[in-house]
Amino acid sequence: MGRHRRDRRSWWRRPRPGLTLALLVAAIASYGLLVVFSHRIEQRSRRAWEVEGNSLDQLVRRYPSRGTNSQAREVETIAAELGLRLVPNWSSRPLRLDPGAVEQWQSVRDALGEFVVTHLRRDDGRIDAPPQAVADYLREHRQVLARLRSVIADSDPPLWRRELDRGPEARLPNLLGQVALHRILVADALEALRGRGWERAAADLEASWSLAAGLREDPVLIEQFVSMAVLRFQAGVLRRLPEADSRWSERLAGAGDRGLLLDALRHEVAALSMVDPTRLTGELSASERAFGWLAAPYLRVSHADALTRWQQALSGLEQRPSLCPPPGRERLDWRVASRPWWNRLEDSLEAGFSATGRLLRLQLDLELTRHWLALNLERARRGHWPAELPLGGASAACPEERWLYHVSPEGEVEVRLSRSFPAPMHGWALPLRHRSGF
Per-residue pLDDT tens digits for 369-393: 999 999 999 999 999 999 999 999 9
Helix axes 221-238, 247-254, angle to 10 degrees: 150
Query: Does residue 250 form part of some domain?
Result: yes
Assign 435 to helix, strand or coil: strand
pLDDT tens for residues 278-296?
A: 665 555 555 656 656 666 7
Query: Does residue 48 form part of some domain?
Result: no
Q: Which residues are CB-contacts of 57 (< 8 A; sequence separation ≥ 6)?
A: none
Query: Does residue 120 form part of some domain?
Result: yes
Average pLDDT, the chain: 84
What pLDDT, on a 0 to 100 scale, did the predictor assign at position 4?
54
Rounded Cα distance, 178 and 86, in Å: 6
Query: Does residue 237 form part of some domain?
Result: yes
What pLDDT, on a 0 to 100 scale, did the predictor assign at position 297?
74
Total structural domains within the chain: 1
Rounded Cα distance, 290 and 344, in Å: 19
Query: Does residue 348 form part of some domain?
Result: no
Q: Is the pLDDT of residue 2 over 70?
A: no
Query: Does residue 40 form part of some domain?
Result: no
Q: Which domain holds residue 110?
A: 70-264+355-435
Are residues 97 and 85 in contact, defined by beta-carbon separation less than 8 angstroms?
Answer: yes
Query: Does residue 2 form part of some domain?
Result: no
Q: Counting beta carbons within 10 angstroms of the beta carbon of residue 235, is it exposed (0 to 12), middle (13 to 18) or buried (19 or more)?
A: buried
pLDDT tens for residues 118-140?
A: 999 999 989 999 999 999 999 99
Q: Is the pLDDT of residue 54 over 80?
A: no
pLDDT tens for residues 105-116?
A: 999 999 999 999
Q: Is the pLDDT of residue 49 over 70?
A: no
Number of neighbouring beta carbons within 10 Å of residue 418:
13
What pLDDT, on a 0 to 100 scale, did the predictor assign at position 1?
47
Query: Does residue 316 form part of some domain?
Result: no
pLDDT tens for residues 173-187?
A: 999 999 999 999 999
